[in-house]
Structure 1
Amino acid sequence: MNVSLPVCASGAATSHLPATRLLWMTVAALAAIATQAQAQTQPPADSNPLAALDHGLRPTVIAPGEAVPRWSLTERMRFHKVPGVAVAVLKNGEVVRAVGYGEREAGTQDKVDGDTLFSVGSISKVVTAATTLRLVAAGKLDLDRNVDDYLKRWKLPASEQVPQPRVSLRMLMSHSSGLGVHGFADYQPNEPLPTLVQVLDGQKPAKNEAVRFKTAPGLLNDYSGGGVTVEQAVIEDTTGQPLQQLAEAQVFRPLGMRRSTFESPLSAAHGNIAKAHDGNGAPTALPRGWESFAEAGASGLWTSAHDLGQVVGGLIKSYQGRGDFLPQPLATAMMTEVSPSVFGLGPRLGGTGPGRHFFHLGANESYRALLEGYPETGDGYVILTNGSNGTALAAEIRNALSDAISLGAHPVVRTVAFRAPPSPDYAGRYRLDSAVPMDLRRALADSFDHETIQVNIVGNTVEIALPGQEKPLPLLPLGPAQFVQSGLYSYMFDFRRDASGKVRGVSVSMPEANSVAYYAHE
């Protein structure tokens, strides 16, 4: 899953920025979020790692003068209309608790527990990456070899833009391959599933477009479920085994994951399955009660909170050099960003120091999930939900568990009240400066990828209108020229006024991803 906001592309009115100014913009954006993190008062650690779910759920952004709400998980499940949740918590790289809340199916007495199976969407990519890295460790694959050397059923498609494609596993796993197809649609119980080759070529019954190059390899961060499907083809063609069999041997058995599977359609014989629910909390994907996923490596994993916690723990202990799941150098590479991406080899990365973490979101049509691990401290957690509103709920749960860990990775962002009306000259159309290097734009080249943005002043509100979006988004003030728009990720907007008093542009930053872009005022 990817959060998307719009940004602008360079045109005649765009002024190029000197390197010193770019550096200042980056430092300023990071300093702002760091200041807020330091100002936050963390609640005291609790001896019960799940106590925060009784009284600690909260939003990320807090209005001026507002107390931080301390919601319970039960009330927020009702609010978001999510029937079932499973959570695992790790300490020192070990799963210490894995429990369930609510029902596997709304209106029944079928309770969720730590072993209930959930679809986890794109979190599948982390387990696929772990499978790949185990094969690299065994000498069967090379991270930097052209994957066409391994592919048998399908080859990288040449194009006018990429006449001689050369893509490595490192590129595929870090979303820097240049290949398209962000995500995939689910398949309902009565719909046939395409083969892997049909998925790659966009041939029916596949629902996606063909996996083709959008840009040359290695140039930018562009999240690609299509690229991970190519990764799946590589490991299957190299070994002659399907992903389910490979993952069983390379990941599930070594980590003690008794409940996990890439089987699709999932057989009811597995039992204890969380069923799919829509935005109203009603059962969907009937009569079976859950969808299928043709792109196993990208989005097809079924797992439990306990099992997925074992993955987080296995990666942490390998990174720390006290586990043998992966060699420490490979675990370190997995958790090191591949420039210009914000991903390592599979997981996304964020934070600094003890608060540095690897994480991934999962979002199939009726399920939302999140995992996060802290390789320096050994902390971590897994959040699984069986409702299509689960992303917002997972963010609130993440905030509660992050506060309990007290590493400052997801601080409260406190907004301020305007002392005077917002400056009217902020309004206007802005265009992206494409001269800003991709090594600075990073995640914004993917999640904030827009040619232009429009800023409006409506009364005392600053709004940003993004291409293709129905309604403008209100920006919340952090100061007279600094604003935030926040969900799972925070986007900060800094209006830049020059020495002659003119608003020259707005920098857009994503502090937790250390990413910055610049838009010039037209």
Structure 2
Amino acid sequence: MKSTLFACTLFACLTAASAHAQAPADQDIARLKAAIERGLRPSVVEAGKPVPVWSLSERMAHHKVPGAAIAIVKDGKLAYAAGYGVREAGTADAVDADTLFSVGSVSKMIAATTALRLVSQGRLDLDRDVNGYLKSWRIPEAPGIANPTVTLRMILSHTSGLTVHGFEDYLPAEALPTLLQTLNGTPPAKNRPIRLQREPGTVSDYSGGGVTVEQQVIEDVTGQPLEAVARAQVFQPVGMRRSTYENPLPPARGNIAKAHDRDGAVVALPRGWQTFPEQAASGLWTNAHDLGEFVAALIRSYRGQSDWLPKPIATQMMTEVSPGNRGLGPELLGSGSSRRFFHNGSNDSYHAGIEGYPETGYGFVILTNGKNGRLLRGEIRNAISDALGDGIKPVIRSIALDLREPIYADYAGDYRLDPSLPMDVQGELADTFDHASLAVKVADGAVAIEPAGENATSLLALSPARFMGAGVEFEFHRDAHGAVRALSVLSGTAHRYYRRQATQPATQPAAHADRGGSHR
């Protein structure tokens, strides 16, 4: 009954919210809009099964996400922005293009751009020791770490070596830390102290703590809070009319998407949303219209069509900083017309994402207000990719393998990371798949990966030697003697290499004649 009522309310508001959308300007936008509303699909389809196609309304109901907002950029200009569903489950308060959402780590993109604007004005230097800018706090000394100099370029590319991956949300009744308390990890801050743990510039390691240091740099150099600097440097020039780093967000702002749990119930009561005091790292409140304008402005700057962010600075922003795949703020993937910048964001009850294609001028924004919004965001992302026809997010089809055959039994064993692979090759996996050892299990017709100290993950077969699971791909390496010697973990251009341990020797396949084809 609850599910039916949720779906009925959602359907009514999906229809109502359409009135708030900007009218599609051409057939291209109309096609994208149709895909968003009726073309969602999964990323992976098991062998032998058809590819399902869903409407946005049914997937919002399925994931129990009451509201979403989406923007589309074309030719470096905002072309469409609309709301779908409701701000609060059980009400008729429709989401529109101006509804404010928490966007988690997408906040880092606006903070990075604020810093780059200051670089373009000569007020900050990308390669100067940030301790030279800091006045009210400094990165503490780290004995034993060679070359401890941290620069803004390192912070923006997440190669700074600083601690604290992310931050917890704060409920309405909880005390909030100051910026200094967050940096020092002292109550009421919930995080550990932000400290140097690795030699700067040597490892890709996502650090919300580093972005918090960036915020302190911005505030110390300008003598103003981040909110004021971001407003002058980004919000006002771009036309982000309702965006703010203010936390806690006051109800007087109005038109706010409330937070919902995995069952679609409102949380963080009585207000209905959490607080994110780590502003630069995760504290931005914005909407589809404003973020769409932001993505469009970045594309135009990169193309040299705007002097808001000078092209040389925008080019650096969109260029990978080794040893990761991030530029000065965004993640970067692809080449040619498929080259793209993007950043996702997740707090407890909100999931958001932005993406832009500088060569083609397309871009988009996805905002949600439910704990399951990450799954919905991915399905919307797939629909947009299909409509663009860019081949970025093709359906991944697994294949049917009889894993009970003897040839697969010797995948089982213990594997240890080979640290000799350069960090330039390991890239982001040094952070996102940071496991020193793996156990591979083959049983009951399935292959599973079990990192040390964690639960096993069952894998889907993509080929006889290649599998996927846990957001990455795994490739087993069988040598010219027929023995499985190693396992690669792959994600984009990043690659980690695990050698099989001799304590559990590889076995010969039962029948060499069955192993046709080439080996990689």
TM-score for the superposition, normalised by structure 2: 0.89
Give me the whole-angstrom Cα distance separating, in 2, the residues matched to 1:67 and 1:353.
31
One-letter amino acid of the counterpart of residue 496, structure 1: H
Q: Aligned to 1:473, which of 443, 447, 457?
A: 457
Correspondences of 1:114-153 after superposition (within 5 Å): 114-153=97-136
One-letter amino acid of the counterpart of residue 457, structure 2: L
1:399 alignment counterpart:
382
Give me the whole-angstrom Cα distance separating, in 2, the residues matched to 1:173 and 1:97.
30
- 1:87-137 deviation per Cα after TM superposition (whole angstroms, max 9, x unaligned): 001111111111011110000111100100000000000000010001111
Larger radius of gyration: 2
Cα shift at 1:165: 2.5
For residues 164 and 441 of structure 1, do their structure 2 counterparts lie closer, same or farther at Cα, with a shift above 3 Å needed?
closer
Correspondence 1:159 to 2:138: no
2:500 alignment counterpart:
521
1:416 alignment counterpart:
399
Cα shift at 1:222: 0.2
Greater shift, 211-220 or 403-412, is seen at 403-412
Cα shift at 1:162: 2.5
One-letter amino acid of the counterpart of residue 432, structure 1: L
- 1:26-69 deviation per Cα after TM superposition (whole angstroms, max 9, x unaligned): xxxxxxxxxxxxxxxxxx97743211023211111111122221
Greater shift, 387-396 or 157-166, is seen at 157-166
Cα shift at 1:484: 1.3
Cα shift at 1:351: 1.5
Greater shift, 59-68 or 370-379, is seen at 59-68
Correspondence 1:73 to 2:56: yes
1:282 alignment counterpart:
265
Cα shift at 1:251: 0.3
Give me the whole-angstrom Cα distance separating, in 2, the residues matched to 1:68 and 1:310.
33
Equivalent pair of 1:46/1:404 in contact (CA under 8 Å) = no
Give me the whole-angstrom Cα distance separating, in 1, the residues matched to 2:459 and 2:410.
16
Equivalent pair of 1:202/1:210 in contact (CA under 8 Å) = yes
Equivalent pair of 1:497/1:504 in contact (CA under 8 Å) = yes
Equivalent pair of 1:158/1:164 in contact (CA under 8 Å) = no
Correspondence 1:327 to 2:310: yes
- 1:127-181 deviation per Cα after TM superposition (whole angstroms, max 9, x unaligned): 0001000111111000000001100011111122336631110000000000010
- 1:230-278 deviation per Cα after TM superposition (whole angstroms, max 9, x unaligned): 0000011001010000010000000011010000110111100000111
2:277 alignment counterpart:
294
Equivalent pair of 1:156/1:165 in contact (CA under 8 Å) = no
Correspondence 1:502 to 2:483: yes
One-letter amino acid of the counterpart of residue 469, structure 2: Q
TM-score for the superposition, normalised by structure 1: 0.89
Correspondence 1:254 to 2:237: yes
One-letter amino acid of the counterpart of residue 104, structure 1: R
Greater shift, 332-341 or 410-419, is seen at 410-419
Q: Aligned to 2:297, which of 314, 317, 324?
A: 314
What SS is found at the alignment partner of 1:455?
strand
Give me the whole-angstrom Cα distance separating, in 1, the residues matched to 2:410 and 2:147.
48
One-letter amino acid of the counterpart of residue 517, structure 1: R
Percent identical residues: 56
Give me the whole-angstrom Cα distance separating, in 1, the residues matched to 2:68 and 2:365.
10
Cα shift at 1:419: 5.4
Q: Aligned to 2:38, which of 55, 65, 72?
A: 55
One-letter amino acid of the counterpart of residue 213, structure 2: V
Correspondences of 1:423-434 after superposition (within 5 Å): 423-434=408-419
Equivalent pair of 1:157/1:165 in contact (CA under 8 Å) = no
One-letter amino acid of the counterpart of residue 70, structure 1: V
What SS is found at the alignment partner of 2:497?
strand
Give me the whole-angstrom Cα distance separating, in 2, the residues matched to 1:410 and 1:339.
25
- 1:444-475 deviation per Cα after TM superposition (whole angstroms, max 9, x unaligned): 101100011111112221111123433x2111
- 1:193-240 deviation per Cα after TM superposition (whole angstroms, max 9, x unaligned): 111111011000100000011211001100000000000000110010
Give me the whole-angstrom Cα distance separating, in 1, the residues matched to 2:122 and 2:159.
23
More relative contact order, 1 or 2 (CA 8 Å, 6+ apart):
1
Equivalent pair of 1:125/1:346 in contact (CA under 8 Å) = yes
2:509 alignment counterpart:
none
Greater shift, 154-163 or 203-212, is seen at 154-163
- What stretches of structure 1 of length at least 5 have no aligned partner? 1-43
Give me the whole-angstrom Cα distance separating, in 2, the residues matched to 1:447 and 1:468.
16
1:436 alignment counterpart:
421
For residues 93 and 46 of structure 1, do their structure 2 counterparts lie closer, same or farther at Cα, with a shift above 3 Å needed?
closer
For residues 312 and 354 of structure 1, do their structure 2 counterparts lie closer, same or farther at Cα, with a shift above 3 Å needed?
same
Give me the whole-angstrom Cα distance separating, in 1, the residues matched to 2:336 and 2:40.
25
Q: Aligned to 2:47, which of 59, 64, 78?
A: 64
Correspondences of 1:235-250 after superposition (within 5 Å): 235-250=218-233
Give me the whole-angstrom Cα distance separating, in 1, the residues matched to 2:452 and 2:402.
31
For residues 92 and 45 of structure 1, do their structure 2 counterparts lie closer, same or farther at Cα, with a shift above 3 Å needed?
closer
Correspondences of 1:2-401 after superposition (within 5 Å): 47-162=30-145, 165-401=148-384
Give me the whole-angstrom Cα distance separating, in 1, the residues matched to 2:30 and 2:371.
32
2:444 alignment counterpart:
459
For residues 420 and 475 of structure 1, do their structure 2 counterparts lie closer, same or farther at Cα, with a shift above 3 Å needed?
closer
One-letter amino acid of the counterpart of residue 364, structure 1: N
- 1:308-339 deviation per Cα after TM superposition (whole angstroms, max 9, x unaligned): 11110000000011012200011111011100
- What stretches of structure 2 of length at least 5 have no aligned partner? 1-26, 502-520
One-letter amino acid of the counterpart of residue 477, structure 2: R
One-letter amino acid of the counterpart of residue 504, structure 1: R
Give me the whole-angstrom Cα distance separating, in 2, the residues matched to 1:181 and 1:383.
26
Cα shift at 1:298: 0.4
Give me the whole-angstrom Cα distance separating, in 1, the residues matched to 2:263 and 2:299.
37
One-letter amino acid of the counterpart of residue 485, structure 1: G
For residues 315 and 46 of structure 1, do their structure 2 counterparts lie closer, same or farther at Cα, with a shift above 3 Å needed?
closer
What SS is found at the alignment partner of 1:50?
helix
